[in-house]
Structure 1
Amino acid sequence: MMFNRIKLLTVVFTLFIGQWSFAQIDLKRLRAKPDTNLVDAPKSPVSNINQVIVPIPKLALEVDYWKHWTKLGLNLNQAYFNKHWNAGGVNSIAILGTGWHKSEYNKNNFNFTTELDLRYGRIQNDFLDREAQTLSKKNIDRIFWDNKLAYKLSQSWAVYVSFTFESQFDAGYTYTRDVNGAEIVDTIKTNFMAPGYFTESFGLEYKPDNTFSLRLGTGTARQTLILDDRIRPLTGEQYFRKNGRYLDANDPSKGESTFGVESGRSFRNDLAFQLTANLDRNLSKNLHLKSRYNLFADYTDLGDPAHRLDAVLTAKVTSLVNVSLTGIVVYNSLEQPGVQVSQALALGILYSLPR
């Protein structure tokens, strides 16, 4: 009996708890949620902005593989002594014009360089003395044009082919004086394309940096042309008609040889080994040295090569004014048996591009 009462109380308690929990759940569902939007929220300004697509222009960016340099110069030298000056001296005036241009193309392992060097100057002594009757003479005259195409084999070595042209602008003479003491032209010695040189070369180039290069032209050909009939070498008969005697009394057929060109001809071709060294370097902030040395050894006579050294030392005074010292040393037994030397010191104006 006692057990049945306990069981009945348990059932009643369980039903009471379940009904109370159910009532609690229903009340939560029926509860009204408070409105948190007491005022209207402002609209975001971003929503009023229209999307605008801004076109991006295509930038025409191109790589320029070329570099160019140009220098134009004018040098003037002058000396004056009045009639009371007793220490000796000659009134003189000299003018020299120079033009230099270089263009260089570099892409991957290919390099092309062209360089043009033009120089022409004249000098006249006793230019204020009418009684002296002196003539104006050229003191420097040069046309030099060099072209080189190279392909790099390593950081410092390349294989190259080159083409070079050399000549002068004007005629060069020897001078004498007539019976009245006036200076007159005696003999023409050189002229444009008399001689003129064309040189083609193939070989290796050593270039450790941008200021120095050394070419070893194992396969080199040079053509020498004399296109002025007044300079062309005479045959034995022509020499006799002009001078009234034979060049060699023992061999009347023997004629002249001028710049290596044989008598009666105007063309000569040589196969040779050529070595060319170029130096173009700033020694200090305002001091620059540019030099070129060329050795030309004919394969038929390697023991007597021709040498030429050109050097220009330039000191910058201002951005335009400079002082230059120029030197040329030449040895070519086909032209002269001895060493030829030329030197000039000048003050002038030099305009360089790019600035």
Structure 2
Amino acid sequence: MLKTGLGLFFLLLLSFSLTVEAQDTDTLKKDSIKIDTNQLNKYRLYPKKNSIPVKARELKIQQELIPVTLMDYKVNYWHKNITFALNFNQAAFSNNYSAGGVTSVALGSNFIYHIEYNKAPFSYVSELNLLYGKSKNKGQGSRKTNDRMFFDNKIASQISKHWFFFGSLSFESQFDKGYQYDANNVLPPVLISNLMSPGYLTESVGFEYKPTTYFDLRLGTGTARQTFVLDTTIYHNNPGNYGVTPGKTIRTDIAFQMVAIFDKDIAKNMHFNARYDMFVPYGESLAYVRHRIDAILAAKVNRLINVSLNGTMLFDKNTSNSIQGTEGLSLGILYKFP
């Protein structure tokens, strides 16, 4: 009986373990089966859109004033520039140089101050031009090569697109004494000019035509010019005495004046400036019409070095019966600010 009972117990235990193992095997098989997640998603529960009530607000656009601090801008109607040029020329020869030559040193300077005011319809232009140069040759004293003092002022009011009504005042003279030299260096030099001998003061009123920024034409229908010769020692050396009657120091002429000015960069690093002045005295023959042309062509080599060619042509019967002229070619330093 005991043996029979133990056998039945072990038999039941064995059958129970086999049943549990079979269930675990089925579970593993079920877990290893691939499941289509799309099919499962059909049965998942998601919250509906806008399930929570939201109160809609009306969109409003309106103008808002934002405080802005304005910068302190000022319009400057004045324009200024300064030009300074210094030219130096030198040549040296030995005493036995077969081709010959004279040792010489020359120095020239030019100063220009230009100021301009433009606020429609009025404009104002002022220019001061100072020119002076000297040279010294071996065996000779120093001599002037250039000497001019010129101050021009003009105020204008616009009356149409290209026409202006203007009034101008200009002054012209020289710094130093001028001499006439004997070509053979036998006779002593003769004094023929000096400061304010001559000197010119010109007042003009008329119309101005300005089609472009680089060309200006003045027609001075009412012009007066005073010619000064304050150094009375040149009376006997210059028979014409610049038109001033000997014994007097001033002469006044009423005339028509035309002034044409061309000032432009004609190429890269090349500038051309020319001024033509025609003075027609009323009540005198056309032979006494005064013509003067001043021109300068300047080319910049670099920021400071420049080459310039300048010339002046003058016809004035009160100073000479023929055309007078001067020309100069120089290499030097040119500085312009700004």
TM over 0.5: yes
Deviation at 1:89, TM superposition (A): 1.9
Q: List aligned pairs for 1:6-155, cutoff 5 A.
A: 57=69, 59-126=71-138, 132=139, 134-155=140-161
Deviation at 1:108, TM superposition (A): 1.4
- For residues 273 and 302 of structure 1, do their structure 2 counterparts lie closer, same or farther at Cα, with a shift above 3 Å needed? farther
Deviation at 1:264, TM superposition (A): 0.8
Which residue of 245, 248, 270 corresponds with 2:253? 270
Q: Which amino acid aligns with 2:264?
A: R
1:341 match: 325
| SS of structure 1 residue aligned to 2:75 | coil
2:219 match: 216
CA distance in 2, matches of 1:280, 1:163: 20
Tell me if the contact between 1:173 and 1:185 (Cα under 8 Å) persists in the aligned partners. Answer: no
CA distance in 2, matches of 1:55, 1:150: 42
Q: Deviations over 1:194-244 (max 9, x none)?
A: 11100000111111111110111111000001111212x36xxxx9xxxxx
Q: Which amino acid aligns with 1:322?
A: N
Tell me if the contact between 1:256 and 1:263 (Cα under 8 Å) persists in the aligned partners. Answer: no
Deviation at 1:173, TM superposition (A): 1.4
CA distance in 1, matches of 2:71, 2:305: 41
- For residues 325 and 256 of structure 1, do their structure 2 counterparts lie closer, same or farther at Cα, with a shift above 3 Å needed? closer
- For residues 136 and 290 of structure 1, do their structure 2 counterparts lie closer, same or farther at Cα, with a shift above 3 Å needed? same
Q: Deviations over 1:28-55 (max 9, x none)?
A: xxxxxxxx9xxxxxxxxxxxxxxxxx98
2:49 match: none
CA distance in 2, matches of 1:261, 1:320: 44
1:308 match: 292
Q: Which amino acid aligns with 2:271?
A: H
CA distance in 2, matches of 1:331, 1:316: 31
Q: Which amino acid aligns with 1:203?
A: G
Q: Which amino acid aligns with 1:353?
A: F
Tell me if the contact between 1:135 and 1:183 (Cα under 8 Å) persists in the aligned partners. Answer: no
2:176 match: 170
Which residue of 205, 209, 227 corresponds with 1:206? 209
| SS of structure 2 residue aligned to 1:271 | strand
| SS of structure 2 residue aligned to 1:83 | coil
Which residue of 248, 261, 271 corresponds with 1:288? 271
1:157 match: 163
TM-score (norm 1): 0.73
Q: Which amino acid aligns with 1:96?
A: G
Bigger Rg, which one:
2
Structure 1 unaligned spans of 5+: 1-35, 37-53, 127-131, 240-254
Q: Deviations over 1:318-342 (max 9, x none)?
A: 0100000010100000001111010
1:41 match: none
Structure 2 unaligned spans of 5+: 1-51, 53-65
Tell me if the contact between 2:240 and 2:319 (Cα under 8 Å) persists in the aligned partners. Answer: no
Which residue of 240, 244, 260 corresponds with 1:261? 244
CA distance in 1, matches of 2:110, 2:194: 19
Deviation at 1:60, TM superposition (A): 2.5
Misfit runs of 4+, over 4 Å: 54-58, 181-185
CA distance in 2, matches of 1:312, 1:176: 29
TM-score (norm 2): 0.77
Tell me if the contact between 2:135 and 2:144 (Cα under 8 Å) persists in the aligned partners. Answer: yes
Q: Which amino acid aligns with 1:219?
A: G
Matched, 1:195 2:198: yes
CA distance in 2, matches of 1:183, 1:142: 28
Tell me if the contact between 1:256 and 1:262 (Cα under 8 Å) persists in the aligned partners. Answer: no
- The more displaced of 54-63 and 316-325 is 54-63
Q: Which amino acid aligns with 2:143?
A: K
Deviation at 1:62, TM superposition (A): 1.4
| SS of structure 1 residue aligned to 2:176 | coil
CA distance in 2, matches of 1:56, 1:94: 62
Deviation at 1:286, TM superposition (A): 1.1
2:31 match: none
Tell me if the contact between 1:121 and 1:141 (Cα under 8 Å) persists in the aligned partners. Answer: yes
